[in-house]
Amino acid sequence: MLLSEAKILIIDDDVDVLSAAKLLLKRHAKAVDIEKNPQKLPFLVTNGDYNLILLDMNFTRDVNSGREGFHWLDRILDINPAAKVIMITAYGDIEMAIRAIKSGAIDFVLKPWENDKLLATISTALEGGKDKVVPVAEEKSKDDNKKNNKATSDTIVATSDSMRQVLVTAERVASTDANVIILGENGTGKTQLAKHVHQHSKRADKPFVAVDLGAISETLFESELFGHVKGAFTDAKEDRAGRFEEAKGGTIFLDEIGNLTLPLQAKLLTVIQERKVTRVGSNKPIALDVRLICATNMNIEKMVTDKTFRQDLLYRINTIELELPPLRDRPEDISALADYYLKQYAKKYNRPVNDISNALVKKMQQYNWPGNIRELQHAVERAVILSQEKTLQPDDLFLKSSAGQPATATGFDLEDMEKTMIIKALKRFNGNITDAARELGLSRAALYRRMEKYGL
């Protein structure tokens, strides 16, 4: 599709950014809508049939982590999996760029942007990337099965006895409707295990709805989970189903449940006990038919003792308890996991990397992995993107020492490694900034800033 035929939506909490973007794009696009409040995204995406969405990563509540932006990216893709989204942020780096694309974005733009660069990025996204945008209603009617399959994808790589036992228990309880709580450190794969339970349940062909309770503010909790009716509050311009209703007949997964305050725990307990939900602004209860799975990385039993988590709520949610061991306690899984992610990212980024050296496998098995599987996944992804060889070597994987500094065979600190990677990329592409930036996963502007920083 040509830019001149496109309908574009821009979401950013900065009115100056919205004005500047609209002023630029309205001269080139068929229509440009702007919106400051991300809470209006579900309505806009459902009813707007936009060909492209420019989405800010950081809103007022969450200054520079990108967490809100990724939350809203997930919501957009839940509503319309074919949507084309370009993420925009003032805090660009390789980790955020990689995660944005991995999460389903078409591209990543650093602000303040160069007008020509922004127009080129948008034109490229419209011409390529995902298949043509299909109106949401049509997408849902044609592709429900595909969406459900995507939502319940449950690839779990495990060879250790401890993980096999967890999976045996999970599959045994999956056929029941018993509530499940999954315990484990950050990055151990709690979401994947929840999907695994759903995939092996009688509800596998129904929705799997994941909710990160840590990303929802207390003021939005009821509207987000229970829904609202038109006029319930200032911006409630239409009736909206909450996440519990969206999971009708399927599974709702409440992640980070330990983050809930006591008042919110009480509201959740009422819904679980009565198996009914009442939208904000309504007095009409709606019967629920959902399977509940919760997860936390906190010591929830201690929280009950400390009276920061309700004991009656814990009784309701932990009919079955599954505990995921940290990666450091199952080193025999590391090689298989690394190989799985190697193949996944080599294909995704069209890289020639196809193997991991024995020396690197040994190095990974000796490492403590404080970030667990998520840390391993990101480490392998970065290595695949930056490696210039077909086989990953120890120097390709940058890990942190116990002191918190990168542990590599060369002993470089983080800035030394970044400078070295930039020098290698520039040398490989004979000084071509565009190609080197693409190789590093940076924008040209970001690469220039780093070159200036290191005197290159």
The pLDDT value recorded for residue 95 is: 62
Residue 254 has pLDDT above 60, yes or no: yes
How far is 46 from 79, CA to CA, in rounded Å? 7
Closest of 17, 16, 26 to residue 119, by C-alpha:
26
User: Residue 243: pLDDT band by 50, 70, 90 thresholds?
Assistant: very high
The pLDDT value recorded for residue 63 is: 53
User: Residue 138: pLDDT band by 50, 70, 90 thresholds?
Assistant: very low
Query: What six digits make up the tokens of 3?
Result: 């830019």
Instruction: Give the whole-number percent of the chain exceeding pLDDT 90.
Output: 45
| Overall average pLDDT of the 247-263 stretch | 95
How far is 440 from 363, CA to CA, in rounded Å? 24
The larger pLDDT score, comparing residue 215 to residue 303, is at 303
Query: What six digits make up the tokens of 339?
Result: 């190989």
| Overall average pLDDT of the 203-219 stretch | 91
With beta carbons less than 8 A apart as the criterion, state whether 342 and 378 touch: no
The pLDDT value recorded for residue 64 is: 56
> For the segment 298-328, what is each residue's pLDDT rounded down to a tens digit?
999 999 999 999 999 999 999 999 999 999 9
Angle at CA 401, nearest 5°, toward 396 and 402? 160
Global confidence as pTM: 0.58
Closest of 222, 203, 210, 226 to residue 291, by C-alpha:
203
The pLDDT value recorded for residue 310 is: 96
Query: What six digits make up the tokens of 25?
Result: 């794009």
Residue 405 has pLDDT above 70, yes or no: no
Residue 440 has pLDDT above 70, yes or no: yes
> 20: which DSSP letter?
H
| Helix-, strand-, coil-residue percentages of the chain, each rounded to 5 | 50, 15, 35
The pLDDT value recorded for residue 94 is: 52
